[in-house]
């Protein structure tokens, strides 16, 4: 019989004493901070590029992960377990991305006798795969988005589904994440093209996809949940994450606005059923789409901490990393109090609004974060740091809280005026427009004005990319997008007129001309004086012309992940040529016209610069029989994914 004292000893062993943080950047900082507040020692790991990163300094100990690839470093399960032993840590926090949803790694940690700060490995198995998660949902009486909860095998099934439910539909990778692995298909032709491009017979990955109805004009609403080993369940807050690009979140808020109380209770009820169904122990997020008719569809469960957990913390007043560690320790969760106030999170990425938010690498020259009441900054970068194309483009998060939504909006505007980032482009100018846009800031009766495609449609001037549409690249900004592009290309100077400070904003073209002339007389050009403006623009016009002449150039600095054609192969307009990856975003490069592949200039795993030639085509002008309505050579950015670990690691 185990006496009480034995039980106490056993419990004592299960307390997190020393925590290995198997992640990098801002989330590593976030976890280390709470660990230190709890008196827990911390161990960081770092790849060479991160040697001087802030989180490495902040941890009590740090271990190098030698190697160049994600696989060698942040995804190197065995090395991480080895470091767990060497450091004497007795727990692992995976952060988000990387190994956070990998059941095998969670198992290895547990087998090593350490505490996994996350749900048990079986919950990761049940929920990590989107098809299994849909099945769990059905069993829990939670309706998923209409779809087929089976891997794709036959074109016929896809066409039948589309004809029953109507186009557009979404093809989703079952292991997708972070917006990757999602393709919108708008007609039979597009469906056939998708099927061909991914057909297993051609070495594709068709069976890793499933089909879902495309829910238009809906909001992305989610619940931040927690459940402990005693079966207590709580929703710390709801969140709305409808401002997205490439199916990935940019702006989030808590609590989710404009929802009737019945919808909120339905979301909570569904979430509780999902968590109970898999005996989930830990923190996690249930994601839903809410239609303008307030119908709720289940999307997925993210069995980990999420980027946007911050806004829930702000309105529920709890430290969610502390909650995670307490639950992993076998303790009780804190039942969430009624949310107080309203909080927004703005992801500060190195993406250029002038080129439809294409990620861009570079070196941070200057940063001035906002401060003052209600401002929280979570970041892991400093001036001088390089934003590498190898990693995610997110540099930090600005989290703004006030007593209600309107006051939070006003506070965001004020904070954005204080925020300065120089050296890499950022969406700051776009955020200023959004927080001054009545469609975003105000409730409009029963209709949602903002939905998940709102940002792309209104500000980036593009429909979500589709297979049919011949890939309106993130590069070719049509009507509305050009507006923002034009606005981006200006620079500001402070001058004094009669001893009074005056700010002068001048179109960049004029500045360039003046400075060109000025430089001859020794004038010095200020370094990147405009807040958040872009240095790294992609020359879309050039890419277009190159396409017509048969030269297919890379739209961005990237790594080649797949070449889908061979020299001498005939291709039709719209066929997939090359897959690129940059900053965790996949870009599919399609044939702009019919022709024959003349020469391939790159090979898989090689790096390419923006504008570098990938492939040349002998253009087959006379026999041009278009398959779609593609008009330009370009890459369809983002909405598709390659074979990657969830969370984007390679």
Closer by beta carbon to Mg ion, 310 or else 471: 310
Among 223, 237, 248, 360, the residue binding ligand ADP under the rule CB under 6 A is 248
CB atoms within 10 A of CB 619: 19
Residue 144 binds ligand ADP, judged by CB under 6 A: no
Q: Does 583 bind ligand ADP (CB under 6 A)?
A: no
What is the closest distance, in whole angstroms, from the C-beta atom of residue 598 to ligand ADP in the complex? 36
Residue 43 burial class via C-beta count within 10 angstroms: exposed 0-12, middle 13-18, buried 19 and up: buried
Sign of CA dihedral 9, 11, 14, 15: negative
- Residue 567 CB burial class (10 angstroms; 0-12, 13-18, ≥19): exposed
Angle between helices 155-165 and 188-198 (to 10 degrees): 150
Q: Which is nearer to Mg ion, 90 or 451 (CB)?
A: 451
Indicate the Cα dihedral angle 448, 314, 74, 423, nearest 10°.
80
Q: Choosing among Mg ion, ligand ADP, none, which partner's interface includes residue 176 (Cβ < 5 to 8 Å by kind)?
A: ligand ADP
Q: Say which entry of ligand ADP, Mg ion, none residue 380 contacts (CB below 5 to 8 A, set by partner kind).
A: none
Q: For Mg ion, which is the closer residue by CB, 180 or 650?
A: 180
When the beta carbons of 316 and 551 are compared against ligand ADP, the nearer one is: 316
* Beta pairing partners, 497: 500
Picking from 251, 310, 259, 255, the residue whose alpha carbon sits closest to that of residue 289 is 259
Beta-ladder partners of 184? 170, 466
Q: How far apart are CA 328 and CA 320, in angstroms?
A: 12
- Kindly identify the residues of this chain, within the stretch 250-309, that bind Mg ion according to CB under 5 A: 287
Q: Is 68 exposed, middle or buried (0-12, 13-18, 19+ CB in 10 A)?
A: exposed
**Using CB under 6 A, which residues numbered 147 to 206 contact ligand ADP?**
170, 176-179, 182
x/- site string to ligand ADP, residues 268 to 307, per CB under 6 A?
-------------------x-----------xx-x---xx
Chosen from ligand ADP, Mg ion, none, partner binding at 554 (C-beta under 5 to 8 Å by type) = none
- Cα 343 to Cα 375: distance, rounded to the nearest angstrom: 10
- State the binding partner of 396 from Mg ion, ligand ADP, none, CB within 5 to 8 A by kind: none
Residue nearest to ligand ADP (CB): 97
Scanning 32-40, 213-221, 481-489, 600-608 for contacts with ligand ADP by CB under 6 A, the matching segment is 213-221
244: partner contacted, choices ligand ADP, Mg ion, none (Cβ within 5-8 A by kind): ligand ADP
CB of 121 to Mg ion, least distance (A): 21
Nearer to Mg ion, 285 or 360 (CB): 285
Report the chain's C-alpha Rg in angstroms: 25
Nearer Cβ to Mg ion (222/378): 222
Judged by CB under 6 A, which stretch of 47-55, 65-73, 212-220, 610-618 contacts ligand ADP? 212-220
Between 181 and 226, CB nearer to Mg ion: 181
Position 401 contacts ligand ADP (CB under 6 A): no
The site that binds Mg ion (CB under 5 A) totals a number of residues, namely 1
In the DSSP assignment, the letter for residue 258 is: S
Closest CA to 93 of 39, 32, 5: 32
Minimum CB distance to Mg ion smaller for 181 or for 380: 181
Residue 387 touching ligand ADP (CB under 6 A) = no
For residue 466, the 8-state DSSP code is B
Q: Between β-strands 233-245 and 296-302, what pairing exists: parallel, antiparallel or unpaired?
A: unpaired
Stretch that binds ligand ADP, among 53-61, 209-217, 534-542, 566-574 (CB under 6 A): 209-217
For position 220 contacting ligand ADP by CB under 6 A, the verdict is: yes
Q: How many residues does the chain have?
A: 650
CB atoms within 10 A of CB 393: 24
Candidate residues 96, 258, 344, 454; the one interacting with ligand ADP per rule CB under 6 A: 96
Our CB check for ligand ADP shows the closer of 94 and 592 to be 94
Q: Is residue 244 a contact point for ligand ADP (CB under 6 A)? A: yes
Asked if 237 is part of the footprint of ligand ADP (rule: CB under 6 A), the reply reads no
> In a 3-state reduction of DSSP, which class is residue 322?
helix
The CA distance from 386 to 12, in Å, is 43
Contact (CB, 8 A) for 128 and 175: yes
Position 456 contacts ligand ADP (CB under 6 A):
no
Other Cβ atoms closer than 10 A to 449: 17
Q: Which among 306, 292, 293, 295 has a CA at the least distance from the CA of 223?
A: 306
| Residue of 50, 212, 314, 586 that binds ligand ADP (CB under 6 A) | 212
Cα-based distances in Å from 622 to 168, 461, 545: 32, 32, 18
3 state SS of 532: coil
Q: Which of Mg ion, ligand ADP, none does residue 121 bind (CB under 5 to 8 Å by kind)?
A: none
Q: Which does 583 bind (CB under 5 to 8 A by kind): ligand ADP, Mg ion, none?
A: none
| Residue ranges in contact with Mg ion by CB under 5 A | 287
| Residue ranges in contact with ligand ADP by CB under 6 A | 25, 96-97, 145, 170, 176-179, 182, 212-215, 220, 244, 247-249, 287, 299-300, 302, 306-307, 392, 394, 452, 647-648
């Amino acid at each position: 019989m185990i006496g009480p004292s034995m039980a106490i000893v056993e419990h004592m062993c299960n307390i997190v004493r020393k925590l290995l943080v198997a992640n990098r950047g801002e989330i590593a900082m976030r976890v280390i901070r709470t660990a230190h507040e709890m008196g827990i020692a911390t161990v960081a790991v770092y790849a060479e590029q991160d040697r001087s990163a802030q989180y490495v300094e902040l941890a009590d100990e740090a271990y190098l992960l030698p190697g160049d690839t994600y696989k060698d470093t942040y995804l190197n399960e065995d090395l991480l377990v080895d470091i767990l032993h060497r450091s004497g840590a007795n727990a692992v926090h995976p952060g988000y991305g990387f190994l956070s949803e990998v059941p095998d790694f969670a198992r290895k940690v547990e087998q090593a006798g350490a505490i996994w700060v996350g749900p048990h490995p079986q919950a990761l198995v049940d929920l990590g795969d989107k098809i299994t998660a849909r099945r769990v949902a059905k069993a829990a009486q939670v309706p998923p988005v209409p779809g087929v909860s089976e891997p794709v095998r036959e074109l016929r099934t896809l066409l039948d589904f589309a004809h029953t439910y109507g186009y557009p539909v979404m093809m989703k990778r079952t292991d997708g994440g972070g917006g990757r692995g999602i393709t919108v298909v708008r007609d039979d032709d597009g469906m056939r093209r998708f099927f061909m491009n991914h057909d297993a017979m051609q070495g594709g990955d068709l069976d890793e996809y499933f089909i879902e109805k495309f829910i238009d004009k809906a909001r992305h609403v989610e619940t931040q949940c927690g459940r402990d080993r005693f079966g207590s369940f709580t929703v710390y807050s709801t969140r709305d994450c409808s401002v997205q690009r490439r199916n990935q979140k940019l702006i989030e808020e808590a609590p989710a606005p404009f929802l009737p109380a019945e919808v909120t209770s339905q979301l909570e009820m569904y979430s509780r059923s999902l968590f109970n169904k898999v005996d989930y122990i830990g923190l996690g997020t249930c994601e839903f789409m809410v239609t303008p008719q307030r119908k709720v569809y289940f999307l997925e469960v993210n069995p980990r901490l999420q980027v946007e957990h911050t806004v829930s913390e702000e309105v529920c007043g709890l430290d969610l990393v502390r909650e995670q560690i307490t639950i992993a320790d076998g303790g009780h969760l804190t039942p969430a109090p009624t949310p107080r106030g309203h909080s927004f999170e703005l992801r500060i990425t190195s993406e250029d609004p002038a080129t439809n938010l294409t990620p861009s690498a570079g070196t941070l020259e200057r940063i001035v974060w906002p401060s003052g009441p209600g401002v929280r900054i979570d970041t892991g970068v400093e001036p001088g740091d390089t934003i590498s194309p190898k990693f995610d483009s997110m540099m930090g998060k600005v989290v703004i809280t006030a007593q209600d939504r309107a006051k939070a909006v006003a506070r965001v505007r004020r904070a954005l005026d204080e925020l300065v980032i120089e050296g890499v482009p950022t969406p700051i100018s776009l955020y200023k427009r959004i927080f001054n846009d009545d469609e975003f800031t105000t409730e409009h009766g029963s209709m949602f004005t903002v939905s998940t495609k709102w940002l792309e449609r209104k500000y980036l001037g593009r429909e979500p990319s589709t297979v049919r549409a011949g890939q309106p690249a993130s590069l070719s900004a049509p009507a509305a997008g050009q507006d923002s592009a034009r606005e981006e290309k200006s620079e500001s100077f402070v001058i004094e007129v009669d001893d009074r400070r005056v700010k002068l904003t001048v179109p960049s073209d004029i500045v360039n001309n003046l400075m060109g002339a000025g430089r001859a007389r020794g004038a010095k050009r200020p370094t990147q004086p405009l807040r958040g403006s872009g240095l790294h623009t992609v020359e879309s016009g050039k890419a277009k012309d190159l396409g017509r002449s048969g030269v297919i150039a890379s739209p961005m600095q990237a790594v080649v992940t797949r070449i889908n054609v061979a020299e001498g192969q005939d291709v039709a307009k719209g066929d997939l040529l090359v897959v690129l990856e940059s900053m965790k975003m996949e870009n599919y490069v399609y044939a702009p016209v019919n022709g024959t592949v003349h020469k391939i200039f790159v090979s898989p795993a090689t790096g390419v610069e923006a504008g570098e030639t990938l492939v040349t085509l002998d253009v087959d002008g006379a026999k041009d029989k278009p398959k779609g309505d593609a008009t330009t050579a370009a890459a369809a950015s983002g909405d598709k994914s390659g074979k990657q670990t969830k969370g984007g690691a390679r």
